[in-house]
Chain A
Amino acid sequence: MKRRVVITSIGVVSSLGCTPDEIIMSLKGRKVAFERQASDGEVVVAPVRNFNIRSYTGPFKDGRYLNRGAQFSVASAIDAVRNSGSLKESFARAGLFVGAGPNLDIGGEFPEVTKGNIDRNDLQALWILKFLPNTAASVISQLIGIHGENLTVSTACSSSLQAIGEAYRKIKDGYLNCALAGGGDSRLSSGGILAYKKAKALCIGSGKPEKASRPFDCGRNGFVPGEGGAFFLLEELEQAKKQGSEIYAELCGYGCSLDAHNMTAPEKSGRSAKDAMNAALKEAEVSPSQIDAVSAHGTGTVLNDEMEANIIFEIYGKAQPSVIALKSWIGHAASACGALELAITLACMRDGYLPEIRNLDEPCHGEVKFVRSGMSAPFGTAVIENFGFGGQNSALVVKSVY
């Protein structure tokens, strides 16, 4: 019998809130956390305010080795485990799949090396751990006691969606019965801001911060860096039923691909991105017309949104699904964006609510069904898609179980 995979717990730390209910309240109340960055007033950021990892972990000394992105990973993974109600012991044979980005805190953290020496007083003996991508996975495994198959995925902004996709496949293919999957990231450090500003990927300007992120709008001019983390407990359906786990949704298809084209820009026709989306639909055994909603990557950059709007139009033809763009609410959480956007989409699915794409005044495509005002709208199937620097593409299909 075909093995099916369901999501049975969610842990999320986002600028909209730290539970599905809080997130829905922020969406309906139109509350966002955009603000001007302290050290560079041209840049708008979307921080998670008042985040303290110790409120998730309690005192633990290895916290000293977690960069801010890794802290979001650890916090949301612990939250997912806690919300599952399962005993820690039951995670011994679980898998662990983590999307992670680089630590770009070059000003605050990365030392200047002169003649082989580093002249910094606050440099830790093991500062390397703040830069290794698997530090979050190591800490999560220690805190929860996970020993199973695992992977840390670092494919730029596609990372955490791919981590979830790989975990889904491992369970579907029988290598695991359950896995924790997700990711956390932050690029709000001065080094991170500098990196994306130099790459000309950020929204630069002086207007109201809330107006900065405008995916699919003709006036879009870059993304707003965000941060946060989300983790999911994935279980094989029969096991989940046997244990009486609460089932949020079924993961039923995954696809990923590479553009093989350019270091940063998406390939214009979106051919490979479409391949990833079609592969996910095929694995899910659904036709495009059966998809109710698409959570777009929608960065608010000129190139991504143009390519993405075109391929959404092409794939769905006459049966266009409702398109939401959650980066207009939380900014771009880099490698964690897929996990966060899945968490928010699942919260919306449960509530039957589609949030508007904020600041979408003049859509860049006339035929795509962008959600223009928030509305109660039950939806049962959704595609989450993400594209990353380097031509990384990924898509995931989720189905409601209600």
Chain B
Amino acid sequence: MNIFAEIEKILAELLDLEDSDITPDTYLIKDLGAESIDLLELAVAINNRFKIPVKDDDIFLGCFRHYMSEAEQQMADTVPYIAEKYPFLTKDRIKEIAARTVEGPQLKIRDLVDYVTYQLERARHAGNDDS
């Protein structure tokens, strides 16, 4: 299954995009104009399409800045601290987002793909454990 293509399909339908030129580096909010109501629908749609649990705060990185300041308060290293909260993000991606949070929401389509991939992997392992 091409996860990116599936997410692209969901977004095109949800946001009624005619010629979507979505790439993994497209920003969901800045480029596609998604609003909070759209994120609600997107979470429901991803849950339905991939049959995975979707936590809105996780998939949309809603607490990223909050975790950054938590790490700061606890004098912990930001990247490992956030990696524990968002295990689906690579360390490089966390660094990239952390450096640019002041510019506004950094959520990209690739983050959604990584979230889905991670959850599908987890589900597969859970299934293997059962057998």
CA distance A63 to B16 in the complex (A): 8
Considering the complex, give the chain B residue whose CB is closest to the CB of A125: B40
Contact status B48-A61, CB under 8 Å: no
Contact status A126-B48, CB under 8 Å: no
Q: Residue B18 at the A interface, CB < 8 A?
A: yes
CA distance A64 to B44 in the complex (A): 14
Interface residues of chain B: helix, strand, loop or mixed (majority):
helix
Min CB distance, B36 to chain A, in Å?
10
Q: Residue B68 at the A interface, CB < 8 A?
A: no
Q: Residue A60 at the B interface, CB < 8 A?
A: yes
Contact status A126-B41, CB under 8 Å: yes
Contact status A126-B40, CB under 8 Å: yes
Min CB distance, B21 to chain A, in Å?
14
CA distance A126 to B39 in the complex (A): 11
Contact status A60-B16, CB under 8 Å: yes
CA distance A122 to B41 in the complex (A): 10
Q: Which chain A residues lie closer than 8 Å to B123 at the CB level? A: none
Q: Which chain A residues lie closer than 8 Å to B16 at the CB level? A: 59-61, 63-64
CA distance A121 to B45 in the complex (A): 8
Contact status A124-B17, CB under 8 Å: no
Q: Residue B43 at the A interface, CB < 8 A?
A: yes
* Contact partner, A125, options B17, B18, B44, Cβ 8 Å: B44
Min CB distance, A135 to chain B, in Å?
13
Contact status A61-B18, CB under 8 Å: no
Min CB distance, A266 to chain B, in Å?
42
Size category of the binding interface on chain A: 10 to 19
Considering the complex, give the chain A residue whose CB is closest to the CB of B34: A61
Considering the complex, give the chain B residue whose CB is closest to the CB of A57: B16
Contact status B17-A59, CB under 8 Å: yes
CA distance A59 to B13 in the complex (A): 10
Q: Which of A60, A64, A125 has the most CB of B within 10 A?
A: A125
Q: Residue B14 at the A interface, CB < 8 A?
A: yes
Min CB distance, A120 to chain B, in Å?
9
Q: Which chain B residues lie closer than 8 Å to A143 at the CB level? A: none
Q: Which chain B residues lie closer than 8 Å to A61 at the CB level? A: 14-16, 38
CA distance A64 to B18 in the complex (A): 15
CA distance A125 to B44 in the complex (A): 6
Q: Residue A265 at the B interface, CB < 8 A?
A: no
Q: Residue B37 at the A interface, CB < 8 A?
A: yes
Min CB distance, A53 to chain B, in Å?
11
Q: 25 A–B contact pairs at CB < 8 A?
A: A59-B16, A59-B17, A59-B18, A60-B16, A61-B14, A61-B15, A61-B16, A61-B38, A63-B16, A64-B14, A64-B16, A64-B41, A121-B48, A122-B48, A123-B44, A124-B41, A124-B44, A125-B37, A125-B40, A125-B41, A125-B43, A125-B44, A126-B37, A126-B40, A126-B41
User: Which residues of A does B touch, CB under 8 Å?
Assistant: 59-61, 63-64, 121-126
